[in-house]
Structure 1
Amino acid sequence: MQMWGNLVKYILTVDSAKDRKVTAVVQHCNRHEGKSPQTSTPPEGKVCRSFVCVPVLNPGRLRKARALTEEVVRMHKVFAVQGPYPVVRAALKARGWVEQRAPRPDHTAHRRHSDNLEKEPNRDGLYDLMCRLVQNETVYFHWTNRRDAVNTNSLQKGQMTNHFAKAGSFTTKVGLCVNLRNLHWFDSADPDTFFPRCYRLGAKDEKPAFIEDYRRTACTSFLKYIVEREQGAPGEGTGHNSPSVRKRSKLQPSPVVLSQMINSALKVCHQFLESLEHRDIDVHLETPQTLTEPEWAQFISDYYLVVHKGAEIESSENFVSCCKAMLQRVAQVSPQLDIDGIQNIWIIKPGAMSRGRGIKCARHLDQILSLVDGDPTLRKEDKWVVQKYLERPLLVHGTKFDVRQWFLVTVLNPLTVWFYTKCYLRFSTQPYSLDTLDSSVHLCNNSIQKHLTPSQQRHPGVPADNMWSDDQFRTYLSSQGREAQWQTVAVPAMKKAVIHALQTTQDLVESRKNTFELYGADFMFGHDLKPWLIEINASPTMAHSTPVTARLCAAVQEDTLRVVLDQRADRNASTGDFQLIYRQEAVDVPQYVGVNLLVEGNNVGHPCSLPPLHSSVRSAAKCSIKEKEPRAEKVKTLPKMLLKGAQTQLKPISREVAPPLPPDLPQTANPVETVSLHLPMIVTAIHLPISAKSPPVLLWKRQPKVSEKVQPLRI
């Protein structure tokens, strides 16, 4: 009873609306914690001693919560977090921010994130009250896992959000494929040096280009096969050995004409080199420029038979030198020749899906085209992309891996990019081999590999949880004598690839002040440790799936807040492991003038006269008398620029003939004809005294002689 007495004593002493609001908040807190209110009707004339089941409240704590809340609102330190980001919540709370909590989602929508959530520590009553008191306040920091969760157009200038609008130009496979082709407008770098060539199969103009690329790659792959066949297959354990090399002895000799295949491949490669140097323009039209469709069908069929199925062929020792020489010429203009391999494998990806969903590998042309042709919706919307697969990647203990690299964009104009110096590797559960194109071998996404059991044939040096940190990877490189290449080759190339991807899409993303975004780029490495950009992900996963991600994902979130909050308040504040790698000079955005063009000009200050005109018709009174005609007055001519403009811009002359003159007027008077000229911003109207029967007058042609006095012009 003493507890209720204290509560009633506090409530009765409160006479302000704010204190009554605090009491209502306490009731709401009890309902939120699962405590049902217990109400009862008091006897008549008695004071209600219990209207809700609430805990003991300290009036000092309530006043403190309200005072702190007012200070938080004044300092604009109210935030909202959507998604499984306990690290962000804890970091903001430590900085004095208060969360405006959203209603807890239902279990169905919350189930997919259940394994990513960390159990939050017990909330103290003071912070919980403050969170309730800011429910109707303005949020000044939004962190969400979905770009459309916050309408950026409705935000004030001081409100921050962690997503740029319209950033799909480089975070989708289609957008990255299309926009990197425009890199030559922004930088001298070649996208083929860091991004495997890619095509949209649904686009009408790109499908023929892909077919041409596939056929040309089959030619170079066949030449590689001939050279490697005579030099011996790659060593076992590298994972690059072709199944055709191992199977060819088991098959019967095929009817393949080796010399004909090599000649066709050399012809296609030679034509490709000639086209790059524009020498094919001088070739006569009657000369065949490429293989015919029947010849292509025969070549591709023989290529499948020899390279994919390992059919036995005759000795190719006599052709090795010419094949090697042609490959050396192609390598000088094709940076991706080394990663192509001999299988001609391509990877087909849905345009806007993540976590490896729907990705397939294929090596046959008809199989690749059938994936798109079978779905008219995907073909219409250009949702499928096909990208050249890296057949010869760098392997760790014979296992394929990729690298997740984070980077942060804080400003779009001027473009400001921060590179995270830490990253991690993701391994596949199966040893690398081209015998099968199963996703368990070729896709390293953790969302796919975590459901698979590691193969017993995999090297024991590969971790059981399929992840390494960059420190572990550098230790492995050190054991191979290649540790220095990480800082001299891999890291600089990854930085350049990220910058180039952002340069091509900077104008396509909606720029907004107080906006930032953390991205995750996926790279693969060639055997020379050269990185190749595969894709860029928005809202990269921060799940603590392994000890590696538990440490690094927490660190990158904390360091992101250091950059966007701490460094903003103090330029000398620590940015953690983020390194500023690019800051563009500010570019002024040109004013939009719309579709209507505007031409402005000024009138001529002083009137000018046209040259004297010649009248070919004389009056009747002067026709029978030949008299010496007086010399015409000297009249200033128009400037040359005006005369030139009159010749090019003179519109048809509108002639208005005056009515006949009255009979009482002198016969020597000529009727006046009004001629309107449309000259460019200088002359508006000209009145010429000529006869009504006079032919059209050429205003820009000056006559050498004048037969009568010309009346001055009025301009």
Structure 2
Amino acid sequence: MEKVTAEIQQRDQEEAKGNRQTTTHPGARVCRNLVSLPVLNLGRLREAKALVDKAVKMHKVFSIQGRYPVIREALRARGWVEQRMVCSKRQVHHHRSGERRASSNDAGDNDNSNDPEKEQNPDRLHNLMSRLVQNEMVYFYWTNCRDAIKTNSLHKEQMTNHFAKAGSFTTKTGLCLNLRNLKWFDSADPDTFFPRCYRLAALDERHDFIDDYRRTACTSLLKYIVERDQDVQGQRISHSIQTVKDKKLRKQWSRPVDISQMINSALRVCQEFLESLDHSDLDTSLDTQCTPTQEEWAKFLDSYYLVVHGEAEIKSSDYLVPRCEAMLQRMKRVNPQLDMEGIHNIWIIKPGAKSRGRGIKCANRLDQILSLVDGDPKLIRESKWVVQKYLERPFLIHGTKFDVRQWFLVTNWNPLTVWFYKKCYLRFSTQPYTLDKMDSSVHLCNNSIQKHLRPSLQRHRSIPADNMWSVDQFKTFLCTQDQEAQWDTVVVPGMKSALIHTLQTAQDLIESRKNTFELYGADFMFDRDLCPWLIEINASPTMAPSTPVTARLCAAVQEDTLRVVLDRRVDCTANTGDFQLIHRQAAVEVPRYVGINLLVEGFTLKGPCPPPPLKSCSRSVPRHRGRIKAKNPLAEK
């Protein structure tokens, strides 16, 4: 410490001396140029040294990568001293590119800048204290990039805000794969809170998706027939059918569509699917199974597009409605997502390696979906494409779609310890909800996309121009709909359950480390019954104060995170703000590694005749030729 103080004093004296030089110009008189410099305040230096000595003694030295003024001020208020990260321009560029690549995979809509030069500290005392601790050990790291700190090189007492290998649930592909293993951890069904998902780059999953799309087309047709026959609040549901403007499809309208044959085919496909789940199809001979051919499927889908997505005239099929209703009831028992699927068979295609909603598209035709995926060989090769069933019937606010950003905190993986934040916020799309177009301004609520778009004049005036609501505003809206009680009985329990089940599947894949924590941001959507559906989970969620709602809530969640990870370590009864402990499982004892002595036991085998020694071909051939010449000189001729 004394050495650093002496270096600071000597450096300041040399700078002052260098700026008080006498410059002489030839042919001119000598002039003395005195530049007024700030004089080193010894009182301030003694104060900084005292604060630094106390912080070092109490292991309160922290370092931050990125613009996190709330974290910085909260740590300083607790007596921590910052050791500033010094990043070169090349490192800053590397961190920025790494943030874009990894962050949601690792980060969803992360707008945090990680350039420390953009944030200047006006208080010289903190700058002086930072110089005094430049050679001290850092005990608390807060970064916005997972790879900025190598956790393997940290000491046990050093804290960091990122777990290693969290991509098993913070990437689209990782979440898609791990939730299929939920049956090994819990009796819950992932299809009840996560829309089914497929990796189209994997050949087996590609075939499964095609089968799922065709089967969903069958159930969509059955729902169309039932809803066409019913009246909802005095209006027919057929108002949601798209208007087809394609001339080719208009020409096909003149072609008669045998709706009875289509319904029978759809019923047969559903029946075979139910039998396969019960394994009763094993007793059926292959001759009696009527699996449609590729040509029959192509013809069925073409007619399905005309009936459901177009306005093709169909004959009356009222006599088939009871059979359609009965089959839909049977399918609902095995498919919890049947109600939210709708009738248009829309799927959302996501590049698993990108974040902030980039590259996401919606499509409702099988050929369109497959062509979108096949157009990028790099993503196909890296198995990055993910296709997920789209919620066609979401809960709307004034006819506009929205999603919810929900924070949660993991402070330990063994035992798994999860904290749920009581506050969240809503993100709206800029256009009213419709299925007539697949534009991202209608179907994607990510703020990174919507903030660049102009809100539609047809959107309800109650939705603000910044496209955000707090949870209190949402509860007020639910009161107007007589649904306020469902927030505490349906929404919150559903989100908590979905998060716990997701973390259970990733528990064995994360590198658990003491004195490590991580704040995540989960995105949810609600169906018409306000049941939450998990869309994705983001590491390093954005803390940028982009709107008045995020400016208030993002600051609060950062403050409360420090209350949990720092204050609660000293006092277990400390205030944790709006964080609520929702899960803490019993610790699993890990056996100590005492080493294993590897050895080989056996006995030698002795044969009657030892095998001849092996010789290389380069030596055996010349000797063989020489022996032939010795016995028969005329053999060569």
Contact 1:454/1:464 (CA < 8 Å) preserved in 2? Answer: yes
Q: Cα distance 1:115–1:145, how it changes in 2: closer, same or farther (>3 A)?
A: closer
Q: Cα distance 1:67–1:653, how it changes in 2: closer, same or farther (>3 A)?
A: closer
SS of aligned partner of 1:387: strand
TM-score, structure 1 normalization: 0.76
The match for 2:56 is 73
Q: Which moved more, 1:589-598 or 1:51-60?
A: 589-598
Contact 1:239/1:433 (CA < 8 Å) preserved in 2? Answer: no
* Distance (Å, rounded) in 2 between the aligned partners of 1:257 and 1:598: 74
Match of 2:9 among 23, 29, 42: 23
The match for 1:686 is none
1:183 maps to 2:173: no
SS of aligned partner of 1:410: strand
The match for 1:384 is 385
Q: Cα distance 1:157–1:239, how it changes in 2: closer, same or farther (>3 A)?
A: farther
Identity of aligned residues (%): 68
Q: Cα distance 1:585–1:50, how it changes in 2: closer, same or farther (>3 A)?
A: farther
* Distance (Å, rounded) in 1 between the aligned partners of 2:239 and 2:129: 61
Contact 1:251/1:312 (CA < 8 Å) preserved in 2? Answer: no
- Post-superposition Cα deviations, 1:337-362, rounded to whole Å, max 9, x if no partner, equal 00111100000001121110000001
1:159 maps to 2:158: yes
**Aligned residue identity for 1:298:** K
Q: Cα distance 1:572–1:229, how it changes in 2: closer, same or farther (>3 A)?
A: same
- Post-superposition Cα deviations, 1:273-298, rounded to whole Å, max 9, x if no partner, equal 11111111111121125212221111
**Aligned residue identity for 1:213:** D
SS of aligned partner of 2:420: strand
* Distance (Å, rounded) in 2 between the aligned partners of 1:17 and 1:479: 68
Q: Cα distance 1:162–1:17, how it changes in 2: closer, same or farther (>3 A)?
A: closer
1:621-700 alignment to 2 at 5 Å? none
**Aligned residue identity for 2:259:** L
- Post-superposition Cα deviations, 1:165-201, rounded to whole Å, max 9, x if no partner, equal 1100000000000000000000000000000000000
Offset, 1:74: 1.6
Contact 2:244/2:310 (CA < 8 Å) preserved in 1? Answer: no
* Distance (Å, rounded) in 1 between the aligned partners of 2:11 and 2:56: 17
1:95 maps to 2:78: yes
Offset, 1:447: 0.5
The match for 1:148 is 147
Structure 1 unmatched ranges of 5 or more: 1-15, 43-48, 601-648, 657-715
Offset, 1:255: 1.4
The match for 1:659 is none
The match for 1:531 is 532
The match for 2:138 is 139
Match of 1:38 among 19, 32, 43: 19
Contact 1:240/1:433 (CA < 8 Å) preserved in 2? Answer: no
Contact 2:243/2:436 (CA < 8 Å) preserved in 1? Answer: no
**Aligned residue identity for 1:174:** T
Q: Which moved more, 1:109-118 or 1:578-587?
A: 109-118
SS of aligned partner of 2:240: coil
1:105-504 alignment to 2 at 5 Å? 123-232=122-231, 241-243=240-242, 252=253, 254-504=255-505
Q: Cα distance 1:419–1:130, how it changes in 2: closer, same or farther (>3 A)?
A: same
Offset, 1:652: 12
The match for 1:551 is 552
Contact 1:27/1:54 (CA < 8 Å) preserved in 2? Answer: no
* Distance (Å, rounded) in 1 between the aligned partners of 2:514 and 2:228: 59
* Distance (Å, rounded) in 2 between the aligned partners of 1:17 and 1:245: 79
- Post-superposition Cα deviations, 1:46-80, rounded to whole Å, max 9, x if no partner, equal xxx99996413332321222222122112111111
Contact 1:80/1:139 (CA < 8 Å) preserved in 2? Answer: yes
Offset, 1:22: 3.2
* Distance (Å, rounded) in 2 between the aligned partners of 1:233 and 1:162: 51
Q: Cα distance 1:449–1:238, how it changes in 2: closer, same or farther (>3 A)?
A: farther
The match for 1:609 is none
- Post-superposition Cα deviations, 1:114-133, rounded to whole Å, max 9, x if no partner, equal 79999979633322211111
* Distance (Å, rounded) in 2 between the aligned partners of 1:550 and 1:240: 41
Structure 2 unmatched ranges of 5 or more: 24-31, 98-110, 609-637
- Post-superposition Cα deviations, 1:591-621, rounded to whole Å, max 9, x if no partner, equal 6799998899xxxxxxxxxxxxxxxxxxxxx
Contact 1:254/1:313 (CA < 8 Å) preserved in 2? Answer: no
Q: Cα distance 1:238–1:105, how it changes in 2: closer, same or farther (>3 A)?
A: farther
SS of aligned partner of 2:521: strand
Larger of the two Rg values belongs to structure: 1
* Distance (Å, rounded) in 1 between the aligned partners of 2:5 and 2:190: 64
* Distance (Å, rounded) in 2 between the aligned partners of 1:116 and 1:549: 21
- Post-superposition Cα deviations, 1:536-562, rounded to whole Å, max 9, x if no partner, equal 000000011110000000000000000
* Distance (Å, rounded) in 1 between the aligned partners of 2:482 and 2:270: 37
* Distance (Å, rounded) in 2 between the aligned partners of 1:505 and 1:178: 10
* Distance (Å, rounded) in 2 between the aligned partners of 1:17 and 1:279: 83
Bigger relative contact order (CA 8 A; separation at least 6): 2
* Distance (Å, rounded) in 1 between the aligned partners of 2:321 and 2:129: 78
Offset, 1:249: 12
TM-score, structure 2 normalization: 0.85
* Distance (Å, rounded) in 1 between the aligned partners of 2:537 and 2:463: 26
* Distance (Å, rounded) in 2 between the aligned partners of 1:237 and 1:560: 50
* Distance (Å, rounded) in 1 between the aligned partners of 2:12 and 2:211: 71
Contact 2:195/2:389 (CA < 8 Å) preserved in 1? Answer: yes
Offset, 1:241: 2.3
Contact 2:19/2:34 (CA < 8 Å) preserved in 1? Answer: yes
Q: Cα distance 1:235–1:67, how it changes in 2: closer, same or farther (>3 A)?
A: farther
SS of aligned partner of 1:102: coil
The match for 2:42 is 59
Offset, 1:414: 0.7
Contact 1:493/1:531 (CA < 8 Å) preserved in 2? Answer: yes
The match for 1:7 is none
Offset, 1:398: 0.1
**Aligned residue identity for 2:582:** I
Q: Cα distance 1:350–1:240, how it changes in 2: closer, same or farther (>3 A)?
A: farther
- Post-superposition Cα deviations, 1:255-285, rounded to whole Å, max 9, x if no partner, equal 1111110010000001111111111111112
| Matched residue count | 582
Contact 2:429/2:443 (CA < 8 Å) preserved in 1? Answer: yes
1:500-515 alignment to 2 at 5 Å? 500-515=501-516
* Distance (Å, rounded) in 2 between the aligned partners of 1:121 and 1:401: 37
* Distance (Å, rounded) in 2 between the aligned partners of 1:144 and 1:238: 51
Contact 2:114/2:144 (CA < 8 Å) preserved in 1? Answer: no
* Distance (Å, rounded) in 1 between the aligned partners of 2:292 and 2:233: 32
SS of aligned partner of 2:334: coil
The match for 2:571 is 570
Offset, 1:103: 3.3
**Aligned residue identity for 1:176:** L
SS of aligned partner of 1:206: helix
Q: Cα distance 1:595–1:278, how it changes in 2: closer, same or farther (>3 A)?
A: farther
Q: Cα distance 1:251–1:25, how it changes in 2: closer, same or farther (>3 A)?
A: farther
Offset, 1:20: 1.9
Match of 1:84 among 60, 64, 67: 67
* Distance (Å, rounded) in 2 between the aligned partners of 1:87 and 1:235: 54
- Post-superposition Cα deviations, 1:69-127, rounded to whole Å, max 9, x if no partner, equal 12211211111111121100010011111111123765995897579999979633322
